[in-house]
Amino acid sequence: MPTALIIGASRGIGHEFARQYKAAGWRVIATARKSDDLAQLTAHGCEALPLDVNNLNDCAGLAWRLDDEKIDVAILNAGVFGSRTNGLQSPQQEEFDQVMHTNVLAAMRLLPLVLPMVENAGGKLAVLSSRMGSIGLRENNVAWLYRASKAALNSVLKDASLSTQKATCIAFHPGWVQTDMGGIGAEISVDVSVAGMRQVIAESSRVQNGQFLSYDGVTIEW
């Protein structure tokens, strides 16, 4: 039975990844930071692990629990948006730290822990980036802190892809998705977004290593 690891599975896109892989008969290891969400994931048949991605002890605990596992698909989904600024409004230090720690520093801590387990399986590792992180496609400067964090995450993913001979590392734009973050007016449902990304992951090979892809498989400019 293949194994999926979903980091940040309490709600939204991460929760849907856990639900769809479970429904497809996979073993699913899913993380959340609140006890209610952990209980709900367990009730759905997932192996639920506590993880606040900004907590070093939690990250060490995850590494210990997953030691020597073979992970076929790992999804680093946890992320925050921060304020919806327009133009060059300097962020407060606290908000900068929250967005950059969650979206970038956590990836720089977790990818080195998780990638060896994905390599054990010759598997796939995906991070939830965003088209808003693309510098080449930049059309406005709404939410520049979030954009900067996803551009940095893309750099982190690219470097992870260069460090592996065995795994396939992909940065995803999930579409504009109806979640707490995307809002109810967003373009696509969470099941369409996740089904698309699962298909792209399933059809990917080492050719896709280090690529920035949309949920429908279209290449996104860095």
> With binding defined as CB under 6 A, does residue 214 bind ligand NDP?
no
Work out how close the CB of 214 gets to ligand NDP at its nearest, in angstroms, rounded to a whole number.
Answer: 10
Residues belonging to the chain: 222
Work out how close the CB of 16 gets to ligand NDP at its nearest, in angstroms, rounded to a whole number.
Answer: 8
Residue 7 makes CB contacts below 8 A (sequence gap 6+) with 14, 31, 51, 53, 74, 75, 76, 77, 78, 110, 114
Q: Tell me which residues in 70-89 interact with ligand NDP (CB under 6 A).
A: 77-80
Per-residue burial over 83-102, b = 16 or more CB atoms within 10 Å of its CB, e = otherwise? eebeeeeebeeeeeebbbbb
Q: Tell me which residues in 176-195 interact with ligand NDP (CB under 6 A).
A: 176-177, 179-182, 186
Residue 31 makes CB contacts below 8 A (sequence gap 6+) with 5, 6, 7, 8, 9, 48, 49, 50, 51, 62
> With binding defined as CB under 6 A, does residue 130 bind ligand NDP?
yes
Residue 79 makes CB contacts below 8 A (sequence gap 6+) with 8, 102, 103, 128, 181
Tokens 């300097």 belong to residue: 90
Work out how close the CB of 165 gets to ligand NDP at its nearest, in angstroms, rounded to a whole number.
Answer: 27
Q: How far apart are CA 196 and CA 191, in angstroms?
A: 8
Stretch that binds ligand NDP, among 3-11, 64-72, 137-145, 207-215 (CB under 6 A): 3-11
Q: Tell me which residues in 33-52 interact with ligand NDP (CB under 6 A).
A: 33-34, 51-52
Q: Which is nearer to ligand NDP, 12 or 123 (CB)?
A: 12
Distance, CA of 95 to chain centre: 20
Q: Which is nearer to ligand NDP, 120 or 155 (CB)?
A: 155
Work out how close the CB of 191 gets to ligand NDP at its nearest, in angstroms, rounded to a whole number.
Answer: 12
> With binding defined as CB under 6 A, does residue 213 bind ligand NDP?
no
Binding positions for ligand NDP, rule: CB under 6 A = 8, 10-14, 32-34, 51-54, 77-80, 102, 128, 130, 174, 176-177, 179-182, 186
